């Protein structure tokens, strides 16, 4: 059946679904939230849309589909460049710095933060006992990365410069989960703390923090 609004497939509290939703909200793109019940992301119907069987996924009225929350963010930020919060730089060197920050977010933050969150929150959710020695190992590596964040953020307001970009928003879901495990994880470093308070208090995050819902 034909539909008019963009659809966001996911689960309300999934980190990657909330990452995509924050960007849709920042860019003022109304969306219909489509719940993918637990395990249905591995069902044949869903695998036809997303061969890796993950959430989120967006689908547009013309049939265009896209998965990977960061790719969704880039697509939406570029398609709707003239509305909502500008989230992508346009000048060559600013774009290069943005790409540097985007690669760094994946390699230096997400890589460790996702493991830390899975070790504690993921295991508890599955009824398993977290391995806190393992968590502490990951956390100590992550702390060294946050020292580098402190240096970067002592010179500029946001991770890719003085303007907010997609990269800042990419950090929020796992950052927020980390705070539930180690409440002062960002507070120990003054510039990281300023940055975290700024991005995590944005209305876009506040509106999806407790669960994504349709905005259309």
Residues that bind ligand GSH (CB under 6 A): 14-16, 41, 53-56, 68-70
CB of 169 to ligand GSH, least distance (A): 12
* DSSP letter string, 65-106: EEESHHHHHHHHHHHTTTSSS--S--SHHHHHHHHHHHHHII
DSSP letter (8 states) at residue 162? S
CB of 65 to ligand GSH, least distance (A): 13
The tokens describing 75, both together, are 């697509």
CB of 195 to ligand GSH, least distance (A): 21
Instruction: Check: CB of residue 59 under 8 Å from CB of residue 65.
Output: yes
Tell me whether residue 10 or residue 89 sits nearer to ligand GSH (CB atom).
10
Tell me whether residue 105 or residue 138 sits nearer to ligand GSH (CB atom).
105
Instruction: Check: CB of residue 209 under 8 Å from CB of residue 17.
Output: no
Instruction: Check: CB of residue 116 under 8 Å from CB of residue 181.
Output: yes
Tell me whether residue 78 or residue 147 sits nearer to ligand GSH (CB atom).
78
Residue nearest to ligand GSH (CB): 54
CB of 37 to ligand GSH, least distance (A): 12
Q: How far apart are CA 31 and CA 84, in angstroms?
A: 14
Question: Which residues are bridge partners to 8 per DSSP?
Answer: 33, 58
Tell me whether residue 54 or residue 85 sits nearer to ligand GSH (CB atom).
54
Tell me whether residue 16 or residue 153 sits nearer to ligand GSH (CB atom).
16
CB of 55 to ligand GSH, least distance (A): 4
């Amino acid at each position: 059946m034909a539909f008019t609004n963009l659809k966001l497939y996911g689960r309300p509290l999934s980190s990657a679904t909330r990452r995509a939703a924050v960007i849709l909200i920042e860019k003022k793109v109304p969306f219909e939230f489509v719940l993918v019940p637990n395990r249905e992301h591995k069902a044949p119907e869903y695998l036809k849309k997303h061969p890796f069987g993950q959430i989120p996924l967006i689908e547009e009225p013309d049939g265009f589909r896209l998965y990977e929350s960061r790719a969704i963010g880039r697509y939406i930020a570029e398609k709707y460049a003239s509305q909502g919060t500008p989230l992508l730089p346009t000048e060559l060197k600013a774009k290069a710095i943005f790409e540097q920050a985007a690669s760094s977010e994946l390699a230096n933050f997400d890589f460790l933060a996702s493991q830390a969150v899975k070790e504690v929150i993921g295991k508890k959710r599955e009824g398993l006992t977290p391995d806190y020695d393992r968590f502490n190992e990951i956390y100590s590596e992550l702390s060294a990365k946050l020292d580098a964040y402190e240096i970067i953020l002592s010179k500029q307001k946001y991770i890719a410069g003085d303007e907010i970009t997609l990269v800042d928003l990419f950090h929020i879901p796992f950052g927020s989960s980390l705070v539930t495990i180690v409440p002062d994880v960002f507070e120990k470093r003054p510039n990281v703390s300023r940055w975290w308070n700024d991005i995590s208090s944005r209305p876009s995050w506040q509106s999806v923090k407790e669960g994504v819902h349709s905005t259309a």
